[in-house]
Structure 1
Amino acid sequence: MLLVNRKLLRLAFTYPFLMHASLAVALTYDRHLNSSSYNRRSLEECYHWSQSTALLNRRLREPIQAKDKDPIWGTAAALAILSFSAPDAYTPQDSWPLKLSGSSDLDWLRMSKGKMALWNIVNPLRPDSLFCVMAATYAHMDSPLPKRGIDGIPSALATICLLEESSTAENNPYFDAAHAVSQILNLPDSGVTTGGSQIFTRTINGHFEDLLRKRDPVALLLLHPNVKSDARRVFEVLRSGGIALVPTEVGYGLMASSTEAIQKAFAAKRRRPGHAQGIIGSYKLHQELHVLPNEKLEMICVLHQDLDMSFGIDAPFRSEHPIPQQLTPATMSNTTKNDTLAIYVGGSSLLMELGRLNDEASQLMLGSSANLTGTGQKFRVEDVDPEIKEAADIIVDYGLQRYHIYGGRPSTIIDFENMKALRMGSSYELLRERMKKYWGVELPEDPMFDKHQSTDA
């Protein structure tokens, strides 16, 4: 691809529409590297983008010679990249699908289809095209999808999309998109290529596209970037001293890693100084920090690793460990009590992947509910107060959170040294029952839990 770009750069000095497109891409990339997450397009970006579009449209109304084909295709590709990677939105709420419908909805899809409409005219696979070296990528983009069934689709995704062994593209609008997403779902970031991602883009048409434009929840889920990508973006924001608003299963939370970001988050929440703070960590961090007998460590392992439960672990900790040493004295006093430290583990695949990234970088993440103090958990992004959203440098919206059924209660916290419930919250009754069943540990009943909830079905 480097060789292709070098040849395109030489052509740009002959074709103004390609030169303007190249400058627009360069300026956009420069803004991405050197500005805040939601910095708007610069005047220079808009100028070169507009000039390239106008000049290309004018050129397409004239006869196209062989020597013009590569510059035209390169410009169309650049404009498609710009429309996809640089939406004109200052915050997530300004972007589709969170904003009100408008003429610019899914502009990137329109541009992508417009580029492909030029395929037969310019034929980038012709022998004398500088793009012919990308033949394998184009072949991957055009590779066929299964005709029937759910082979290769994760069971949870198949269930959400109402897919079964008899499903086809003709009887289920999600069929092709679900198969395309499943091909890249578990790949590492480095393994997701242009060809692989474009297979999915190719499926956005017909009934599925109509559903997407109507903001159908299942269609939006299929369009949504994968968890690893989201976690990486959140991690980068935290590493740069920003605040992230993310889903945690027990509601949406504000995450921060720097002292300044923590203070900013508390100010947005209108929380008084000195209020307790929680560490949002990983099972690995818990293993490294907490000091507990082996039988209690095994209990936590079974509850979290085998039974897939999310909860806060309060226990004595190794104060000499490098991770707690990152905390300022004030923050340390807010996160510890009586020489114990609480770490929330679990809370969705996003938090677990984020925990893995934090562990690799030895970065500590503190979290708090994304609400004004005293107003209760928020289970949808649209329910989060505007001042909380404004404080966030990145917002990850995964829709309604799992534990909304508990009426706004926070996470459960267990003191595993003394086997006490410090806070009876979401899924406490499950923890209580399992701890009694497997280890004979008796915890008090939750007076706020309605037993009829567990039998109503």
Structure 2
Amino acid sequence: MSTHIPWSGDLAADAVDILRTDGGMIVSPTKVGYIVMVSDRDGLERKFAAKSRRRSKPAVVLCGSLDELRTLARLTPEIDEFFQRHWDDDILLGCILPWSDTGLALLDDDARELATDARGTSCFVARFGAPGEQIARALWDERRIVFASSANPSGLGNRGLVSGIGDAIDDAADLVIDADDYVRSVQPDASPETRYEQGVMVSFVDAEGRLVSEQRGERSVTPAPVVIRAGLDIDRIMSHLARSFPSWDFRHGECY
């Protein structure tokens, strides 16, 4: 079993130190359960091995600040404003976006294969929860990018419990940050069976990975943003979508 530490409410400096090293891998709590966090190709390889997950399923990019998101991803002014609203309201949001030229220059060539899909896009996630945000922000200050996947055997959930991450991940991680109380506090009225275990994912690219066009208030603009995964705060996110985009689609389960 890996080393376990409780989350104190402050930055977990030991976790940052581990992710600075080649192949470092930790488990951290989020608003919707536990995730594996890594910061390089070797770490991504360890993550796929621990999860027994197919390598075609890319890791998500954890953004500890809007500055990081704006540096790494290509955004339109409308998408930028959409993210800003969720940042201000502290709403977990993941969006499929192309990488910017600056972001690609920062992305290690060896990591690119496992961090992007076949179109060269990734899911960029913000406001995923204080414990992991603190770590991602500290590493971004050093221009290190953090990647993640859910911390559970592939296809199974962890129910927001550190005991649910599974023996393989527990054994493989260098460090596990325990914070079941934090996860529970985000959805205090939910049980492990009814708790959302994922965040909402919105695609802002077409089938070839190109950014959707700005709508500028016009109706029936296509291609349009698509909600491809429901999850925590789906009602609030759909409200923001309706405010920002006259046209958008809901296709839960759409392949990414």
TM range (shorter): 0.7 to 0.9
Helix, strand or coil at the partner of 1:344: strand
Partner SS state of residue 373, structure 1: coil
Is the 8 Å Cα contact of residues 429 and 446 (structure 1) preserved in structure 2? no
Within a 5 Å distance, the mapping from 1:18-417 to structure 2 comes to: 91-92=3-4, 225-228=8-11, 230=12, 232-241=13-22, 242-282=24-64, 283-304=66-87, 306-321=88-103, 324-328=106-110, 331-332=112-113, 334-400=115-181, 401=183, 402=186, 405=190, 407-416=195-204, 417=212
**SS in structure 2 of the partner of residue 387 of structure 1:** helix
User: Greater helix share, 1 or 2?
Assistant: 1
Q: Is 1:439 the equivalent of 2:244?
A: yes
CA distance in 2, matches of 1:323, 1:314: 19
**Shift of residue 394, structure 1, vs aligned partner:** 0.9
Distance 1:392-1:378 versus aligned 2 partners, 3 A rule: farther
8 Å CA contact 1:429–1:445 kept in 2: the answer is: no
Following superposition, the deviation at residue 407 of structure 1 comes to 4.2
Deviation at 1:337, TM superposition (A): 4.5
Q: Give the match's secondary structure for 2:140.
A: helix
Q: C-alpha separation between the residues in 2 aligned to 1:250 and 1:439?
A: 25
Contact 1:323 1:364 in 2 (8 A): no
Offset, 1:322: 5.5
Q: Tell me by how many angstroms 1:296 deviates.
A: 2.3
Q: What runs of 5+ residues in structure 2 fail to find an aligned partner? A: 205-211, 213-223
The alpha-carbon distance between structure 1 residues 254 and 403, as it changes in their structure 2 partners (threshold 3 A), is farther
Offset of residue 357 of structure 1: 1.0
Q: TM-score, normalised by structure 1?
A: 0.45
Whether the 8 Å CA contact 2:30–2:130 is kept in 1: the answer is no
- Structure 1 residues 322, 337: CA separation in 2 closer, same or farther (over 3 Å shift)? closer
8 A Cα contact 2:158 2:164, kept in partner: no
Q: Counterpart in 2 of 1:68? A: none
Shift in CA distance, 447/285, structure 1 to aligned 2, threshold 3 Å = closer
1:6 alignment partner in structure 2: none
SS of the residue corresponding to residue 79 of structure 2 reads helix
Cα distance, 1:284 vs structure 2: 1.6
| 1:434 Cα deviation after fit | 2.7
Look up the match of 2:207: none
In structure 2, distance between residues paired with 1:255 and 1:322:
20
Same amino acid, percent of matched pairs: 19
- Match of 2:99, as an amino acid? F
Deviates more, 1:314-323 or 1:260-269: 314-323
- Post-superposition CA distance 1:300-335 (Å, at most 9, x none): 11122x211111122222145355431416x43652
Q: 1:42-99, CA deviations, whole angstroms, 9 ceiling, x for partnerless residues? A: xxxxxxxxxxxxxxxxxxxxxxxxxxxxxxxxxxxxxxxxxxxxxxxx732xx8x9xx
| Per-residue CA distance 1:109-137 (angstroms, 9 max, x = gap) | xxxxxxxxxxxxxxxxxxxxxxxxxxxxx
Structure 1: stretches of 5+ with no match in the other structure: 1-37, 39-89, 98-223, 449-457
Structure 2 vs 1, CA of residues 358 and 441 (structure 1 numbering), >3 Å: closer, same or farther?
farther
More strand by share: 2
SS at match of 1:292: coil
Report the residue type matching 2:226 in the other structure: K
Mapped to 1, the partners of 2:47 and 2:107 lie a distance apart of 21
Deviation of 1:423 (Å) = 2.0
Whose relative contact order is higher, 1 or 2, with alpha carbons under 8 Å and at least 6 apart? Answer: 2
Q: Distance in 1 between matches of 2:119 and 2:32?
A: 26
CA distance in 1: counterparts of 2:37 and 2:174, whole angstroms = 10
How far apart are 1:391 and its partner, in Å?
Answer: 0.9
Question: In the alignment, is the contact (CA less than 8 A) between 1:323 and 1:363 conserved in 2?
Answer: no
- Scaled by the length of structure 2, the TM-score of the pair is 0.77
Provide the secondary structure at the position in 1 that maps to 2:239.
helix
Shift of 1:254: 0.6
Rounded Cα–Cα distance in structure 1 between residues aligned with 2:27 and 2:202: 25
What letter matches 1:237 in structure 2?
I
C-alpha change, 1:432 and 1:91, in structure 2 (3 Å) is: same
The 1-side partners of 2:198 and 2:114 are apart by 21
Point out the structure with max Rg over C-alpha.
1
Which residue identity lines up with residue 25 of structure 2 in the other structure? Answer: I
SS in 2 for 1:363: coil
Count of aligned pairs between the two proteins: 226
Alpha-carbon distance in 1 for matches of 2:104, 2:252? 40
In structure 2, give the amino acid aligned to 1:249. K
CA shift at 1:298, angstroms?
1.4
**Partner secondary structure for residue 431 of structure 1:** helix
